[in-house]
Amino acid sequence: MDKKRLLMMVEIAIFAGIGLILDKLTFTIWAQGGSVSLVMVPIVLMAIRWGLAAGLTTGVLIGVLQIAFGAHVYHWVQGLLDYGIAFTAVGLAAVIRRPLLHATSNGQMREMVFYIVLGTVLGGSIRFAAHLIAGVVFFAEYAGDQNVWVYSIIYNSSYMIPAIILTAIAASMLFTSSPKLLQKA
């Protein structure tokens, strides 16, 4: 195993642990779950730093760690949606890596921020979609007389939009202040 691959694997493990800690340091909005945290930052960082495989792996590890440390799983499909798929999907932020590397090599800070925000919004939006579907299917009784889709959109947006914004800001600050964090795989 080459040193670069070993470094990537070690960073995945470390950042998954950091993600679990960041998930515990939250601003809880709803009693039933959903909180604003920086849990997506390590996933986005690994996705941008190392690429798609590292981002997806970090996301799935964070989801598994959350389940192991007491996440609320009511049905295995709900657990898969809310923890497995949702956090793995954040790793899709890596799709912006190539244009981000190009912007970085040309010293284009505005473009760097644009691509980091774009990747974060993409990964965060797919995470939102996973929570939305889980909400509609498994938590419909909380909607009462309201349309379950509207309820789930409002509920999940209330914490996902701030979380996506915070993650985009944090990732942009980290990579623009230290562009050498980007690996050229």
Is the pLDDT assigned to residue 34 strictly greater than 80?
no
Q: Helix or strand or coil: residue 158?
A: helix
Q: How far apart are CA 12 and CA 15, in angstroms?
A: 5
Q: Could you tell me what percent of the chain has a pLDDT over 90? A: 72
Is the pLDDT assigned to residue 58 strictly greater than 70?
yes
Q: Read off the CATH number of the domain in which 80 is found.
A: 1.10.1760.20
Helices and strands (H, E) in the chain, number of each type: 8, 2
Is the pLDDT assigned to residue 1 strictly greater than 80?
no
User: What's the pLDDT band for 185 if we cut at 50, 70, 90?
Assistant: low
Mean pLDDT calculated for residue range 59-84? 92
Lowest-pLDDT range of 3-17, 106-120, 138-152? 138-152
Mean pLDDT calculated for residue range 53-82? 93
Q: Cβ–Cβ contacts within 10 Å for residue 83, how many? A: 24
Q: In total, how many domains does the chain have?
A: 1
Q: How far apart are CA 163 and CA 158, in angstroms?
A: 9
Question: Mean pLDDT across the chain, nearest whole number?
Answer: 91
Mean pLDDT calculated for residue range 92-117? 94
Place of tokens 């980007």: 182
What pLDDT score does 31 carry? 58
Among 169, 151, 170, 173, smallest CA distance to 34 is for 151
Mean pLDDT calculated for residue range 104-130? 95
Place of tokens 């470094």: 7
What pLDDT score does 144 carry? 86
Mean pLDDT calculated for residue range 113-139? 95
The better pLDDT of the pair 172, 143 is held by 172
Question: What's the domain range around 133?
Answer: 3-181
Mean pLDDT calculated for residue range 34-51? 92
Mean pLDDT calculated for residue range 46-65? 96
Calculate Rg over the CA atoms of the chain: 17
Structure tokens at 7: 């470094």
